[in-house]
């Protein structure tokens, strides 16, 4: 009694120490470990730097210039004026200046350029989200495959338990000379065959565990427990989330419309102030041949009319691009709705198949149990019993497969519809 209690405690400790995973936890770990997640930070940082550079155009623009020239001729006055004899200008001339320009009104150009960068950055971030969303689909597929292999292994163990039970009884009959040895050998051969199937299933599971471990950047043992996802179908149909592809289409439209607004402001007049100060020979007084300081300041109005020549066509091109994006969005929504309808049909089909699977399993289990009694009484051979075991096994495999497919189909429905 003490030994049984000790074994029970040890077994419970082993269970408690086994790591338990949910699909939500592994999905979160996989996204956190995904390299594209780091790309989002790079995109945000790049957008901030671009916006900062654009804003700096509003700061005073300072330039330092210098020149030294020698010219073949200079301005001179050959008209004799009483009491006035200006010194001739030197043919070598020098000038060093500091120019300061300050934008006063740019017609909204700077603000629109910032808007274009922000809209473009959002498009790139959502492209990133689309790729990350595909990772969720991959995690779902691997997780459901792990659940399936777990059930396959369990089913093999259940069948082997029945076979070992039958083997003991047939061996007893053999010892009493009531059956041929061939009956024992057939059951043993089936046990070995099932052992191979179990090894294949465990190897497939290990491959899946390794793939999941790489995605989530964790170590997953063979004894890890994977919880069965519970998806309430009624709640699932009321999900209000949206696919990132839809958000991407909207962001692309917004980006193009922002560029449309930029075309308009490019043709607006621009007003600025400027100041120039310097030192040179000659300065502003062209009749003074001495080195001297000088300065000049004022306002500058600039209105380039050349933009009007191309603005209309540029806006037409951008408007066509908006229409193309809208067409792509409508096409995507149509295909998405078709996928949702197909997935709903698949879910309904699997639910009906599971109901029938349960009935088939009940019938096959009765036949299997009856066959074991017949085998013990020598009415049927071991080969006949193995056929019934095989049919019972196939019925259970169909149930396990349909059950896993139903879970995956519901999760896939969520993914197709969109989830946060």
Q: Give pLDDT tens digits for 188-213.
A: 999 999 999 999 999 999 999 999 99
For 111-258, where are the E strands, in sequence order?
Answer: 225-226
How far does CA 175 lie from the centroid of its chain?
A: 65
Q: pTM of the full predicted structure?
A: 0.79
DSSP string, 37-103: HHHHHHHHHHHHHHHHHHHGGGSPEEEEEEEEEE-S------S-BTTB-PPPPPSEEEEEEEEEEEE
Distances (CA, A) of 94 to 71, 74, 127: 11, 13, 57
Res. 225 pLDDT band, cuts 50 70 90:
very high
Residues 6+ apart with CB under 8 A from 38: none
Query: 315: exposed, middle or buried (C-beta count within 10 Å: 0-12, 13-18, 19+)?
Result: middle
| Cα–Cα distance measured from residue 308 to residue 304, given in angstroms and rounded to the nearest whole number | 9
**Model confidence at 286: pLDDT above 50:** yes
| Cα–Cα distance measured from residue 173 to residue 139, given in angstroms and rounded to the nearest whole number | 51
- pLDDT tens for 232-261 read 665 455 444 578 999 999 999 999 999 999
**Model confidence at 304: pLDDT above 90:** no
**Model confidence at 402: pLDDT above 50:** yes
pLDDT score at 2: 38
- pLDDT tens for 72-113 read 888 776 766 666 666 777 888 999 999 999 999 988 889 999
For β-strands 225-226 and 20-21, DSSP reports them as: parallel
The neighbour count for residue 305, using CB atoms within 10 Å, is 8
pLDDT score at 114: 93
| Cα–Cα distance measured from residue 353 to residue 348, given in angstroms and rounded to the nearest whole number | 9
Sheet holding 292-302, edge to edge: 61-70, 92-105, 270-281, 292-302
Cα angle 403-351-399, degrees, rounded to a multiple of 5:
35
How far does CA 71 lie from the centroid of its chain?
A: 67
What is the average pLDDT value for the chain, to the nearest integer? 87
Summarize the confidence of residues 130-153 as an average pLDDT. Answer: 94
H or E element in which residue 273 lies: strand 270-281
Whether residue 297 contacts residue 148, with contact meaning beta carbons closer than 8 Å, is answered with no
Per the DSSP assignment, residues forming a β-bridge with 384 are none
Give the rounded percent of residues in the chain with a pLDDT score beyond 70.
91
Both tokens of residue 240?
Answer: 């209000």
Per the DSSP assignment, residues forming a β-bridge with 67 are 95
Summarize the confidence of residues 348-357 as an average pLDDT. Answer: 96
Whether residue 145 contacts residue 212, with contact meaning beta carbons closer than 8 Å, is answered with no
Residues 6+ apart with CB under 8 A from 5: none
The neighbour count for residue 371, using CB atoms within 10 Å, is 21
Summarize the confidence of residues 315-338 as an average pLDDT. Answer: 94
Whether residue 401 contacts residue 201, with contact meaning beta carbons closer than 8 Å, is answered with no
- pLDDT tens for 360-394 read 999 999 999 999 899 888 888 889 999 999 999 99
pLDDT score at 74: 80
**Model confidence at 66: pLDDT above 60:** yes
pLDDT score at 57: 85
pLDDT score at 10: 40
DSSP-assigned letter for residue 228: P
Cα angle 237-331-245, degrees, rounded to a multiple of 5:
60
């Amino acid at each position: 009694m003490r030994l049984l209690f000790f074994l029970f405690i040890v077994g419970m400790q082993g269970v408690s120490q086994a790591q338990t995973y949910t699909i939500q936890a592994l999905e979160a770990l996989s996204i956190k470990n995904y390299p594209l997640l780091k790309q989002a930070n790079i995109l945000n940082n790049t957008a901030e730097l671009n916006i900062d550079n654009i804003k700096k155009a509003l700061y005073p623009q300072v330039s330092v210039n210098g020149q030294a020239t020698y010219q073949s001729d200079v301005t001179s006055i050959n008209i004799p004026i009483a009491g006035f004899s200006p010194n001739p200008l030197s043919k070598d001339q020098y000038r060093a200046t500091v120019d300061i320009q300050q934008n006063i009104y740019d017609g909204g150009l700077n603000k629109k350029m910032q808007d274009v960068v922000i809209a473009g950055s959002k498009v790139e971030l959502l492209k990133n989200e689309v790729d990350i969303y595909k990772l969720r689909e991959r995690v779902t597929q691997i997780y459901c495959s792990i659940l399936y292999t777990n059930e396959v292994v369990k089913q093999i163990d259940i069948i082997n338990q029945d076979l070992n039970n039958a083997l003991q009884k047939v061996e007893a009959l053999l010892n009493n000379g009531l059956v041929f040895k061939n009956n024992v050998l057939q059951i043993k051969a089936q046990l070995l065959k099932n052992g191979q199937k179990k090894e294949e299933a465990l190897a497939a599971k290990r491959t899946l565990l390794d793939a999941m471990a790489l995605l989530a950047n964790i170590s997953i043992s063979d004894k890890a427990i994977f919880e069965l996802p519970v998806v309430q179908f009624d709640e699932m149909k009321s999900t209000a989330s949206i696919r990132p592809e839809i958000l991407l289409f909207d962001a692309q439209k917004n980006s193009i419309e922002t560029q449309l607004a930029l075309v308009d402001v490019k043709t607006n007049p621009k007003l600025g102030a400027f100041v120039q100060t310097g030192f040179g020979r000659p300065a502003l007084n062209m009749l003074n041949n001495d080195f001297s300081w000088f300065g000049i300041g004022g306002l500058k109005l600039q209105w380039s009319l050349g933009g009007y020549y191309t603005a209309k066509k540029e806006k037409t091109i951008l408007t066509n691009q908006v229409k193309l994006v809208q067409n792509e969005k409508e096409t995507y929504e149509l295909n998405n709705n078709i996928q949702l309808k197909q997935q709903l049909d698949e879910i309904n089909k699997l639910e009906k198949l599971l109901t029938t699977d349960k009935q088939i399993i009940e019938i096959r289990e009765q036949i299997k149990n009856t066959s074991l009694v017949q085998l013990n009484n020598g009415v049927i051979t071991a080969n006949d019993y193995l056929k019934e075991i095989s049919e019972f096994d196939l019925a259970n495999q169909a149930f396990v497969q349909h059950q896993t497919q139903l879970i995956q189909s519901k999760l896939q429905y969520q993914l197709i519809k969109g989830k946060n």
